[in-house]
């Protein structure tokens, strides 16, 4: 559900991150798209978990990959990367080529 991106649109400088949440109500036949700009200096946003519990894993994934923190999330821990992993791999400033690949538990 959340999609994160950063861009410059025409002459308007957007913030570094943008969280996009698409909501669908089948009973009301309505769609809502919520777009929130997040500055690089404060990568914190309120969690949607209280209203939409289905966002739990998606918010954890955004935290893990981009480092965006969700206030009020019940378990904001890494979901894809190991707990001791340093950094957030999908950020453009993450130096993926600067570190060796880590294979834990693999036979050497």
User: What residues does each domain of the chain span?
Assistant: 3-98
Write the class of the CATH domain 3-98.
alpha beta
Residue 3 pLDDT level (bands cut at 50, 70, 90): low
Contacts of 61 (CB under 8 A, 6+ apart): 2, 79, 80
Q: Find the mean pLDDT for residues 13-23.
A: 86
Predicted pLDDT of residue 16: 84
Q: Find the mean pLDDT for residues 27-47.
A: 93
Pairing type for strands 12-13 and 8-9 reads: antiparallel
Residue 12 pLDDT level (bands cut at 50, 70, 90): low
Q: Is the pLDDT of residue 97 over 80?
A: no
CB 61 within 8 A of CB 72: no
Instruction: Give the chain's end-to-end CA distance (angstroms, integer).
Output: 38
Q: Is the pLDDT of residue 6 over 70?
A: no
Q: Return phi, psi of residue 102, to 5°.
A: -105, 120
> How many angstroms separate the CA atoms of 25 and 23, rounded?
7
> How many angstroms separate the CA atoms of 107 and 88, rounded?
26
């Amino acid at each position: 559900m959340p999609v994160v991106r950063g861009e410059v649109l025409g002459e308007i400088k957007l913030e570094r991150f943008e969280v996009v949440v698409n909501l669908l109500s089948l009973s009301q036949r309505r769609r809502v798209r919520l777009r929130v700009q997040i500055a690089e200096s404060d990568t914190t946003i309120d969690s949607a978990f209280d209203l939409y519990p289905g966002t739990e894993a998606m918010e954890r994934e955004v935290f893990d990959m981009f480092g965006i923190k969700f206030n009020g999330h019940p378990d904001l821990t890494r979901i894809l990367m190991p707990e001791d992993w340093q950094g957030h791999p999908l950020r453009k400033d993450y130096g993926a080529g600067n570190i060796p690949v880590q294979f834990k538990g693999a036979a050497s």
